[in-house]
Chain A
Amino acid sequence: MRKIAVLYGGNSHQFRTLYEPKYHRYLHQIIYLPELPFTSLDDIDVLLIPSQLHQRLVSESQHIIDSFTDRGGVVAAFGAQPNNWIPGHNWEFRPTNFWWWLDSNVRSGLVTERLDHDFFCYLTLKDATWHYHGVFYPPSGAEILIGLEGGGAILYVDKVTTAGTLIMTTLDPEFHYGSYFMPATERFLDKFLPWLAEGEL
């Protein structure tokens, strides 16, 4: 099992998600964000960066994230990426449609052409289907596992931009699960963390 470290901003939704036993068992280390500059990532395989962290504090630790990918580490990030902490994502904001499932055609717009990827041995497209806060336009060579009809990526794996592996999704399941808001996001976490820990990335 890969050793996953996760950044923790001390907020209530991250507290609930990261200390939930069924998720906590996959987390080798929970790093309180203000302590990141004083924490070694030497024995860590995966750095998980949840959404809604204090932006200045993460920016001040940019060099730590860069060093981690430089030595081949895996960075997985949830949610909107208005900053360039992780290179190459080309985030584009989209207004959130919380009500997509009420529309007459009941289509989320999420698509995949990579059902052969090991990711889909763990998750289905339905497990990743709820609203999103924006899209990515990753570089060529990145594998888009979940895309949008009409272009853009909701979840991709990028092994070309850095010496490491970047797993980026605009979805923010840890926020919703931790806020008791949209229990459907629990299905994603139940399966994503085992893939991140043991699956073929």
Chain B
Amino acid sequence: MTMTSSGTPHFVIVDSGNYFSTQTIQETKKRDDCFVIDMYDLPERDLSPYACMVIDNFVDQELLYQEREQIWQFLNQGKVLIFSGHMFLPWLPGASMFVPKLIRSQHDYEVSIVQQHPIFDGVDPEEMTYTKGVSGFFARGHHPLPSQAEVLLSLPGGEPITYIDRYSTQGTILVHSGNNLFAYSGQGSTVGRIGSQLQNWTREEYRAIQERTRTL
């Protein structure tokens, strides 16, 4: 189940090339279901073999803005795109610019699961909010929603941290206003479930898009 129907890796991981991403990228390169590309190779790369593009919070958004047509075309081929970070340029269909949360106490960072969803199945919101008793690592603001988006997580004022948008393009967009959701792993906390559950959900989502497209 690690390949697309054409036999190529399911995920294309956009490498932002910075120091903090190095470890995640090296781990990802060991996996046969992921293909890593340097972000500056995006303009030259045929993305059609891949089911899902994963973009982290260190990406060059000036570049993505220049390449927004390619991103739009990728999604309109019925693909999935996962972006984690703070948007400041309009490169992603339907997405609005990041709005930071006004913080008065550490409780303002508390994460709530808005509706049960396979990506966050068995994940304790308390463990998303607090790391060794300190909050603020997970998300510190939100992106205003596109029309008909499905909200998965929110902050105490109802600000959506994580949403799924199936309406702005022919594909599915997941936007998360925090660190790279794809990279959460490990046994120490229920938060470590997120990465693999996100990957499983993405495979199902891609299959559902393909089936929906076939029946049209």
Contact = CB atoms under 8 A, between A and B. Distances in A.
B18 A181 contact: no
B133 A12 contact: no
A52 B132 contact: no
A57 B19 CA distance: 13
B192 interface: no
Interface in B27-67: 38-40, 57-63
The 4 closest A-B pairs by CB, nearest first: A10-B60, A54-B17, A10-B62, A12-B86
B62 A12 contact: no
B87 interface: yes
B79 interface: no
A87 B53 CA distance: 37
Given A12-B87, A56-B38, A102 B133 contact: yes
B167 interface: no
Contacts of A181: 136-137, 140
Interface residues of B, number: 31
Nearest to B56: A11
Contacts of B86: 12-13, 16, 179-180
B17 A12 contact: no
A142 to B, nearest CB: 23
Residue of A34, A52, A54, A179 with highest tally of chain B CB at under 10 A: A54
A52 B19 contact: yes
A98 B16 contact: no
Contact of A54 (B39, B101, B136): B39
A54 B19 CA distance: 8
Contacts, number: 80
B69 to A, nearest CB: 17
B201 interface: no
B88 A12 contact: yes
A35 to B, nearest CB: 10
Contacts of A53: 17-18
6 contacts: A11-B16, A11-B57, A11-B61, A54-B40, A56-B38, A99-B133
Nearest to B86: A12
A52 B60 contact: no
Interface of B: 16-20, 22, 38-40, 57-63, 85-88, 98, 100-101, 131-134, 136-137, 140-141
A57 B40 contact: yes
B57 A102 contact: no
Contacts of A56: 17, 38, 40
A15 interface: yes
A6 interface: no
Contacts of B98: 12
B19 A82 contact: yes
A173 interface: no
A52 B58 contact: yes
B124 to A, nearest CB: 20
A87 to B, nearest CB: 18
Interface string A27-67: 00000111000000000000000011111110000000000
A12 B40 contact: no
Given A54-B18, A79-B19, A99 B40 contact: no
A56 B38 CA distance: 10
Contact of B17 (A13, A55, A80): A55
Given A57-B40, A98-B131, 7 more contacts: A9-B58, A12-B87, A16-B88, A52-B20, A179-B86, A180-B100, A180-B140
A9 B60 CA distance: 6
A8 to B, nearest CB: 8
A109 B170 CA distance: 54
